[in-house]
């Protein structure tokens, strides 16, 4: 893998500077590229994103990765981030750096972002830009279903009165959860009624995931009743699904929906 400096894309009225890395495909056979959408407080240099980029080099397939605003190498403050802003950035990267159908790979929060992207493209009559979705421990609606509903009353009050609460994280420093994130999340909920994304969906979910219960993935699958959906439950899998065998499953899922 090359460690070349990222390219930057300016997004939004406040001109957020979004870092993007592109692994150029060199295959003579035209096949869908891959767009990586990472998780909450993760970045495009993580194990799964790097594994996909390395696969892109081997397979001659374009792989595009980016960091949301407030994440990784991108600009802006994390505390100003919302689902709407991050979804806007993902769509902007798709439109600026890719051509033709893409396999969107969404990890955790990136799964929610991927679904919002599918809805936005459908509204613009551009659904053919999606070849497939590959979702890893997808966490649609997590701000409401997995955060707010699980929070004690005192934590909710802190968020409402102070605007932010810092949640302990086993993956790094305490995570700021802002009132803006919670309230904006409610405007982007997708699990209330069935909807179609119009392309194949492959979901990889660890049964031992402590952050996103496997039942959450089952609920998402039931909402995608019109689509070709395959849910793979990995009995001993955690939230990250970054072990060698998990990375093999990820690459296999991408190849299955996008051709070898």
Say yes or no to pLDDT of 29 above 70: no
Q: 238 CB contacts (<8 Å, ≥6 apart)?
A: 206, 208, 209, 210
pLDDT attached to residue 1: 46
Say yes or no to pLDDT of 3 above 70: no
Q: What are the CA-CA distances from residue 195 to residues 43, 198, 222, 226 (Å)?
A: 29, 9, 10, 8
CA distance 76 to 249: 34
Better pLDDT: 170 or 254: 254
CA distance 185 to 128: 27
Which structural domains are found in the chain, ordered by start? 7-140+197-258 (3.40.50.1820)
Q: What are the CA-CA distances from residue 100 to residues 50, 54, 233 (Å)?
A: 23, 21, 31
Query: Using an 8 Å Cβ cutoff, are 217 and 231 in contact?
Result: yes
Say yes or no to pLDDT of 241 above 90: yes
pTM value > 0.75: yes
pLDDT attached to residue 76: 97
pLDDT attached to residue 4: 73
pLDDT in tens, 208-219: 999 999 999 999
Nearest to 241 by CA among 142, 134, 109, 136: 136
pLDDT attached to residue 214: 98
pLDDT attached to residue 26: 73
Nearest to 39 by CA among 176, 136, 175, 146: 136
Could you give the dihedral angle defined by the CA atoms of residues 115, 82, 102 and 55, in that order, rounded to the nearest 10 degrees?
Answer: -110
- In this prediction, residues 38-62 reach a mean pLDDT of 96
- The overall average pLDDT reported for the chain is 95
pLDDT attached to residue 225: 85
Query: Rg (Cα) of the chain, in Å, rounded?
Result: 17
């Amino acid at each position: 893998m090359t460690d070349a400096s990222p390219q930057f894309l300016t997004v939004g009225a406040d001109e957020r500077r979004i870092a993007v890395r592109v692994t150029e495909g060199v295959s003579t056979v035209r096949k869908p590229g891959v767009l990586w959408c990472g998780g909450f407080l993760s970045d495009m240099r993580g194990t799964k994103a790097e594994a996909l980029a390395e696969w892109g080099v081997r397979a001659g397939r374009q792989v595009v990765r980016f960091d949301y605003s407030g994440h990784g190498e991108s600009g802006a403050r994390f505390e100003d981030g919302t689902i709407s802003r991050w979804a806007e950035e993902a769509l902007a990267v798709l439109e600026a750096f890719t051509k033709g159908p893409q396999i969107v790979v969404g990890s955790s929060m990136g799964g929610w972002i991927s679904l919002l992207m599918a809805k936005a493209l459908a509204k613009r009559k551009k659904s053919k830009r999606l070849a497939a979705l590959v979702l890893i421990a997808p966490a649609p609606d997590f701000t409401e279903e997995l955060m707010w509903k699980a929070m004690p009353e005192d934590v909710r009050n802190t968020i409402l009165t102070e605007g932010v609460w810092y949640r302990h994280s086993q993956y790094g420093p305490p995570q700021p959860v802002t009132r803006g994130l919670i309230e904006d999340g409610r405007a982007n909920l997708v699990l209330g009624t069935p909807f179609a994304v119009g392309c194949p969906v492959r979901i990889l979910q660890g049964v031992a995931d402590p952050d996103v219960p496997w039942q959450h993935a089952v609920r998402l699958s039931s909402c995608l009743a019109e689509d070709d959906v395959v849910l793979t439950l990995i009995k001993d899998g955690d939230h990250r699904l970054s072990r060698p065998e998990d990375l093999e499953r990820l690459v296999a899922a991408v190849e299955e929906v996008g051709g070898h």
